[in-house]
Amino acid sequence: MKTLASYFIVILSLLSFSCGIENLPIAVQPAESRIAVASLVGPEDLVFVSLSRSFSALSADDISEISEDFIDRLLIDSALVTLSYEGFTDTLESFINISGLFATELQTFEDFQLMELTVFDSSSSEIITAQSVLQPAVEVDSVVITRRDTTENFLTDFAFAFDDPPNQENFYVIQVYQFTPPDTTASDSTDNDGLFFSNGNFLIYERILTDRGSDDDGRIRRDEIIEFTSDVDSALVVLTNIEEGYYNFLEARGRSGNLVSSLANEPVNHPSNVNNGVGYFSAHQPRGRLIVVENQEN
């Protein structure tokens, strides 16, 4: 059950890739609001698409005081969302009543199949379209997270490796999620299931990678130092094989702020494959591995 919950929260977190709050120069006029798209292929061949409204930071009096109600108004519920692939056309339905999140189960599932997204927003009569090619899943097959024998900044060693498919350029996102213990001081226990989101420290590491120009021998290996602050001795490591266009989108997003950030702002000058909208429609398959966090031996 914990693993299923982990994947579900990862889905929600990954879907924030396409969206982010950016401070625009004061001299710039607020950008026109458009439909922002994010997507992924999750467990059980489910395709998830999130829809929201982009907005300019200049439209908010104080960006640090943006309310949940304001964010909720950015999420799009009144949309007809269809996905066409391999001769099928599916209508995506609202996923467990989460605002702005739509899903469908693929009727056929093949690596490199073309997927075409169409969205009609009935509240604005806008239509957006996008295409993506389903990327094969790649899994981390070697990963170790080891707490150092020090209290300084919770420094932790993170080493991982995986097979890199040959004869092509490949692009990836690697992430580490930590779990948090239950907050016994919470006034309403239903707001805290004891797994995630304590002090906003769920996602603790992320990096985009490419084998372009690499001399790796068919393996990608990295050794990193991360900050692991949770008392829970487990972590979820997620690897996602992504297309080059989505890599470029995330790289541009990373240059302008956090790679994964909060919802729905105009991604100014960021690459996009969405016609008449913003964000990126990417058919990628995150693969997670739940591991035990080790302690450094003296």
Q: For all residues of the chain together, what is the average pLDDT?
A: 78
- 203-210 and 171-178: which strand pairing? antiparallel
**Alpha carbons 144 and 147: distance in angstroms, whole number:** 10
The residue ranges of every structural domain in the chain are 2-136+257-285, 142-240+289-295
pLDDT exceeds cutoff 70 at 88: yes
**Higher pLDDT pick, 29 / 163:** 163
- Percentage of the chain lying above the pLDDT 70 cut: 71
- Summarised one tens digit per residue, pLDDT across range 12-68 is 555 554 444 333 333 455 567 899 999 988 877 899 999 998 876 544 444 555 566
**Alpha carbons 168 and 173: distance in angstroms, whole number:** 17
Q: What does the pLDDT read at residue 57?
A: 55
Burial class (CB in 10 A: 0-12, 13-18, 19+), 102: buried
**Alpha carbons 55 and 36: distance in angstroms, whole number:** 10
Structure confidence at residue 109 as a pLDDT band (50, 70, 90): confident
pLDDT exceeds cutoff 50 at 1: no
Q: What does the pLDDT read at residue 73?
A: 79
Structure confidence at residue 128 as a pLDDT band (50, 70, 90): very high
pLDDT exceeds cutoff 80 at 186: no
N-terminal to C-terminal alpha carbon distance within the chain: 35
Judge whether 83 and 117 are in contact, CB under 8 Å.
yes
Query: Looking at 5-14, 131-140, 192-201, which range is the least confident one?
Result: 192-201
Taking 3-state DSSP, the helix, strand and coil percentages for the chain, each rounded to the nearest 5, stand at 20, 40, 45
Q: What is the pTM of this model?
A: 0.79
Query: Looking at 50-59, 76-85, 172-181, 196-205, which range is the least confident one?
Result: 196-205
Q: What does the pLDDT read at residue 12?
A: 56
Ranked by mean pLDDT, the top range of 103-117, 220-234, 242-256 is 103-117
Judge whether 107 and 88 are in contact, CB under 8 Å.
yes
Under 8 Å CB-to-CB from 121, ≥6 apart: which residues? 35, 51, 76, 78, 79, 127
Question: CATH assignment of 142-240+289-295?
Answer: 2.60.40
